[in-house]
A and B are shown apart, each in its own frame.
Chain A
């Protein structure tokens, strides 16, 4: 089919080509990942607590003299891509460039009640669906549900990356180093040990590991040896990652680089999910300058990331969730900064997302407004959106709502039909 044309058409109509559940893509095996038929989940965390009123839930002031304003910019500076679009953004950072280019792919959820103003609690809630400790991140859970045996199944660059032991997590940093360890048996262009010798060494090591695994009986040690065996099973597969690693000079932001590495892992058939992160949002002082700088890094990074997604034609394979710890107060403190606020926003872009949409809202004091969970419209009789509602939707979207892990890590609230 004429994919480019269809994409263009989809953009014009404001409907993403790839909207719809992703669960049909899964057949739950590492092999399927290796063949590139499975979706990739990327969780982008804006660390420190972003200010949605300076971003995707803009609140301007009505006049220069308005006392105690939410923001210093004016209401009439707030931008939108078109009269009919519900999407609006604040005139800060590179918001304009980002939203103009990508509004048609975005599903924004405003007025999310995190019920906390604590960094770690909010980050945990938004990325695991549970306020209290105890749940793995959604990315970890997804990896464990669909392909736990992949050696780089879950890549993390920070944010909430607790796994609860359901799957190992991997940090990937310097690419130069990765290329070296991808070929651990090579000393330059020669083998450390002749092939026949290496084969005998490997046979001994594998047998000993198996024997050790059979002999040991303490559950923790058994599990640890199982993890080691799983990790070693993918030793050769790092070579594929090495082949797919991008040229980092193409990216100006850390977020772009992190995303490109995750995409390389995915394209190598090794990765199911990744945490990406960008910091600097905890703007207790000099908010306007510092928050704008952080938003700039976020927007630029997301644009680089999406360009890389497009470069590889993965628009209908990659779902990105972007969130933070919580929001920021609807007023400035004495240091011209903003403190913690429990109401926040998040958004999705990519595969399975019907874009150019906004769900939920806040009032002028940045209090969350209740919505009807069936019609997704504001409703005084409805309920506030919580991260747990969103995670219920995510689990369904990725088809793991019937997986045993779902029952093991239950969510306390019902699903909000974000993706249908």
Chain B
């Protein structure tokens, strides 16, 4: 076996140096198809088709030109790093099942030198390896204690676990030897080794379909012609170009607000003066400036100002995040900045007067603002964040500290103590002295102390001293320096921005937002453990790599999102038809594929993007899918207050909402689309209401049939993202459906069982955006030949299909 003996600090330095710029990096495209799969020339080419040759299996070498994310190195053959050896040979088969029950912070062996932490804790493997390595150095009577204890050669509270002749002993002996070697065995940990294996046989979306999925997911729209052309011409580089465009758009920022509101939940304060009411009037005497304008007539401008002011304040944290991304600032500025993004309305609320606005009434104009006397630390010092994650006199900011760990360090503190405890213990000051309590409080209390100047109302209120019966303010082992005590939160966040756990935590949050699922939990006992471990390890490696890249790219969130989009996790769509579906392989693939219905906000945008109209009762109403009193919550959405987790599995209510949506929208948009000029239509650019495929004798009119088929192809791509050839079986089926609907409907009209006119609600008589009546010559209301309703039926089918409703 070839080993690579190097010093860890050296390799770290080398990697940091070599990651200086994008062009020196390797992407997940290594696993993707080449750019050459896009066929130029045909306006419809390049859009990958599931199951066709255009979708290339994982593992095929890239013939394209996407720059690598991470410099390629040849890992030594058969190299097993110390950490891998520890995890796969020592931790999982020996320490975890045999030792952890006692050797944990609350276990019977909590006072020994060998105490391991739960796997749920981020960095647990590394921490546990370090514990083992330390213990390995200790001898008694010339032999390692760590070998003598489990064999009970030295009295062991757990008795003899195995003998010297057993495999476990031999494995521990090798681990001790490795740990004592002085130099760590480090393989190319940053390679994608192991990931390829998981994706072998998995079909991935091609470049065009990946772009379509990304634009719909991130911007709620279809790719535009220029973007499609860029991918046709440049393959994956074209995707990169198109994504640059998407990730700089207002539509993307809207999605980003949603993603981060799902995390921060500050939209709870939208409406009326809910956000403004949270502010301390003494601290912010200007907070209600717009409400106190007694001479101001209560006109439209006044109410707009009221709404702008509260919305701007409620969304302060979300807008700060947008500002950081929009200005390509390092993403850690969401918590480290010594400013908060302000618009003219929030600036006035905070009494900030030193910003020179282009338009002092434009709520979309954002600048860096500093409230007087406030030591900002990005969103952490926003009263919205501080109220959404409140504290009390007895809680002493611990809740805020827990959220801080969870969001920005990927550590769920509760999981450190996810074992039965006895909080009724009578120990004096248990958070300091009772091990059951201190396991969490050792971690969170110093950070709670860093929030010390932020009171229950979320206002800055300087404290001379923090509680003496709590651990001192700080972060991990480091105490807050005295000279930093005023800006304690900023000091804290600057520490965190340097912590690789921050990179990983943000990578995880964005992965969850894009893929729709959390990361796999560490596999426990059960069937197909090896397969599940393979999947888990590959995903962990992937997140590690992308987190490293995120840091190397100055915490550029758009880089992170682009990496996730190009990843096989985002693009996995099916399995090769010839793959053997044995249970072990299925267990390995159990987490792959985007399988969730679109969230209400995304479905709403997709409806607008594909049909050109909103689903709502009338032009002044709120959209059904955004209205909490209508379908938003029933369709799995949140209100950021009581309902804070989304339902993503379809249920009976979902399916009825989908069906109603399909029926109402098809009724509403079909005739309306025909009122427009063909080049302005979303749905019917190739046909007219007079186009019937059969003549009066029942003979086919080939030209009309071809136009109908062409339009069906357009709809299949627009609605479903599926590209059918005009003579493909899929298009034959769609055409047959259209023909049947038309024939059946026409029979009913001719039998006078159905009207020859459209129902008023389905007429193209109004502009759906403005509500204004259309000129009579433009209106579409008659349908004596059932052509319009045939198209409406087809649109209803398309809208109620999983290809439309799912990611």
Residues in A lying within 8 Å of B, measured CB to CB? 113, 115-118, 120-121, 131-134, 151-152, 158, 163, 165, 168-174, 177-178, 180-182, 184-185, 187-188, 190, 192-194, 196-198, 200-201, 204-205, 208-209, 212, 215-221, 223-225, 227-228, 231-232, 234-235, 237-238, 270, 279, 284-285, 333-335, 337, 339-343, 365-367
Known contacts A115-B421, A185-B663, A204-B737, A227 near B793 by CB under 8 Å: no
Per-position 1/0 for B414-426, Cβ under 8 A of A: 1001111111100
Known contacts A115-B420, A115-B421, A117-B423, A193 near B394 by CB under 8 Å: no
A337 touches B394 (CB 8 A): yes
Known contacts A118-B414, A335-B392, A218 near B801 by CB under 8 Å: no
When distances are taken between beta carbons in the complex, the residues of chain B under 8 Å from A237 are 652
A335 touches B741 (CB 8 A): no
B789 in the interface (beta carbon within 8 A): yes
A166 to B524, CA, bound (A): 19
- Name the contact of A133 in the complex, choosing from B418, B659, B664, B740 (C-beta under 8 A): B418
Known contacts A171-B647, A187-B759, A200-B740, A235 near B592 by CB under 8 Å: no
A292 to B236, CA, bound (A): 63
Q: Kindly provide the distance from the CB of A285 to the nearest chain B CB, expressed in whole angstroms.
A: 6
A197 to B748, CA, bound (A): 10
A217 touches B581 (CB 8 A): yes
Q: Kindly provide the distance from the CB of A341 to the nearest chain B CB, expressed in whole angstroms.
A: 7
- Name the contact of A131 in the complex, choosing from B418, B655, B759, B793 (C-beta under 8 A): B418
Per-position 1/0 for B772-807, Cβ under 8 A of A: 000000000000000001001100110011110010
* 14 other A-B residue contacts (CB within 8 Å) besides A204-B737, A335-B392: A133-B521, A170-B652, A182-B656, A184-B656, A192-B792, A193-B663, A197-B745, A200-B741, A218-B592, A221-B574, A228-B802, A270-B652, A284-B392, A340-B423
A238 touches B652 (CB 8 A): yes
* Residue among B392, B572, B650 with max Cβ neighbours from chain A (10 Å): B650
B371 in the interface (beta carbon within 8 A): no
B40 in the interface (beta carbon within 8 A): no
When distances are taken between beta carbons in the complex, the residues of chain A under 8 Å from B414 are 118, 120-121
When distances are taken between beta carbons in the complex, the residues of chain B under 8 Å from A181 are 631, 634, 653, 656-657, 660
Chosen A-B contacts, 10 in total, with CB atoms closer than 8 Å, are: A165-B649, A171-B643, A174-B629, A178-B634, A187-B667, A197-B748, A200-B740, A218-B589, A224-B593, A333-B393
A200 to B790, CA, bound (A): 11
* Closest partner residue, chain A, to B628 (CB atom): A173
- The 9 closest A-B CB pairs, nearest first, are A151-B652, A115-B420, A224-B595, A184-B660, A184-B659, A168-B651, A217-B575, A218-B593, A192-B663
A196 to B412, CA, bound (A): 56
A219 touches B663 (CB 8 A): no
A339 touches B394 (CB 8 A): yes
B650 touches A220 (CB 8 A): no
A373 to B559, CA, bound (A): 59
When distances are taken between beta carbons in the complex, the residues of chain A under 8 Å from B653 are 152, 170-172, 178, 181, 238
Interface residues of B in 473-531 (CB under 8 A from A): 521, 524
When distances are taken between beta carbons in the complex, the residues of chain B under 8 Å from A339 are 394
A337 touches B392 (CB 8 A): yes
B263 in the interface (beta carbon within 8 A): no
A196 to B754, CA, bound (A): 11
B573 in the interface (beta carbon within 8 A): yes
A215 touches B761 (CB 8 A): no
* Residue among B596, B653, B740 with max Cβ neighbours from chain A (10 Å): B653
B586 in the interface (beta carbon within 8 A): yes
Q: Kindly provide the distance from the CB of B489 to the nearest chain A CB, expressed in whole angstroms.
A: 23
A235 touches B655 (CB 8 A): yes
- Name the contact of A170 in the complex, choosing from B421, B651, B664 (C-beta under 8 A): B651
B51 in the interface (beta carbon within 8 A): yes
A233 to B591, CA, bound (A): 26
B650 touches A228 (CB 8 A): yes
B304 in the interface (beta carbon within 8 A): no
Per-position 1/0 for B576-595, Cβ under 8 A of A: 01010100001001111101
* Closest partner residue, chain B, to A213 (CB atom): B802
When distances are taken between beta carbons in the complex, the residues of chain A under 8 Å from B630 are 174, 177
A342 touches B424 (CB 8 A): yes
B631 touches A187 (CB 8 A): no
- Name the contact of B591 in the complex, choosing from A117, A151, A220, A231 (C-beta under 8 A): A220
Per-position 1/0 for B628-639, Cβ under 8 A of A: 011101101000
A117 to B402, CA, bound (A): 14
A221 to B647, CA, bound (A): 17
B394 touches A238 (CB 8 A): no
A205 to B399, CA, bound (A): 49
When distances are taken between beta carbons in the complex, the residues of chain B under 8 Å from A134 are 524
When distances are taken between beta carbons in the complex, the residues of chain A under 8 Å from B797 are 201, 204-205
A219 to B745, CA, bound (A): 40
A284 to B657, CA, bound (A): 41
Q: Kindly provide the distance from the CB of A28 to the nearest chain B CB, expressed in whole angstroms.
A: 20
When distances are taken between beta carbons in the complex, the residues of chain A under 8 Å from B589 are 218-220
A132 to B417, CA, bound (A): 10
B202 in the interface (beta carbon within 8 A): yes
B354 in the interface (beta carbon within 8 A): no
Per-position 1/0 for B741-759, Cβ under 8 A of A: 1001101100001100001
Q: Kindly provide the distance from the CB of A233 to the nearest chain B CB, expressed in whole angstroms.
A: 9
A352 to B428, CA, bound (A): 45
A185 to B666, CA, bound (A): 12
Known contacts A171-B633, A200-B740, A204-B737, A367 near B424 by CB under 8 Å: yes
B733 in the interface (beta carbon within 8 A): yes
B300 in the interface (beta carbon within 8 A): no
* Closest partner residue, chain B, to A170 (CB atom): B651
When distances are taken between beta carbons in the complex, the residues of chain A under 8 Å from B800 are 205
A131 to B649, CA, bound (A): 25
Interface residues of B in 534-554 (CB under 8 A from A): none
A334 touches B651 (CB 8 A): no
B395 in the interface (beta carbon within 8 A): yes
A231 touches B796 (CB 8 A): no
B642 in the interface (beta carbon within 8 A): yes
When distances are taken between beta carbons in the complex, the residues of chain B under 8 Å from A190 are 759
* Closest partner residue, chain A, to B800 (CB atom): A205
B466 in the interface (beta carbon within 8 A): no
A190 to B629, CA, bound (A): 25
A85 to B795, CA, bound (A): 66
- Name the contact of A231 in the complex, choosing from B655, B667, B789, B803 (C-beta under 8 A): B655
When distances are taken between beta carbons in the complex, the residues of chain A under 8 Å from B733 are 204, 208
When distances are taken between beta carbons in the complex, the residues of chain B under 8 Å from A177 are 629-631, 634
A242 to B663, CA, bound (A): 19
B654 in the interface (beta carbon within 8 A): yes
B741 touches A197 (CB 8 A): yes
Interface residues of B in 604-661 (CB under 8 A from A): 629-631, 633-634, 636, 642-643, 647, 649-657, 659-660
B418 touches A220 (CB 8 A): no
Known contacts A171-B643, A200-B741, A220-B592, A151 near B663 by CB under 8 Å: no
Q: Kindly provide the distance from the CB of A241 to the nearest chain B CB, expressed in whole angstroms.
A: 9
When distances are taken between beta carbons in the complex, the residues of chain B under 8 Å from A215 are 51, 574
- Name the contact of A227 in the complex, choosing from B394, B573, B649 (C-beta under 8 A): B649
* Closest partner residue, chain A, to B419 (CB atom): A131
A158 touches B642 (CB 8 A): yes
Q: Kindly provide the distance from the CB of B170 to the nearest chain A CB, expressed in whole angstroms.
A: 33
When distances are taken between beta carbons in the complex, the residues of chain B under 8 Å from A168 are 649-651
A66 to B636, CA, bound (A): 51
A184 touches B663 (CB 8 A): yes
* Closest partner residue, chain A, to B644 (CB atom): A158
A216 to B802, CA, bound (A): 12
A220 touches B593 (CB 8 A): yes
When distances are taken between beta carbons in the complex, the residues of chain B under 8 Å from A152 are 651-653
A131 to B421, CA, bound (A): 10
A149 to B126, CA, bound (A): 45
A196 touches B418 (CB 8 A): no
When distances are taken between beta carbons in the complex, the residues of chain A under 8 Å from B793 are 193, 197-198, 201
Known contacts A185-B659, A218-B202, A200 near B744 by CB under 8 Å: yes
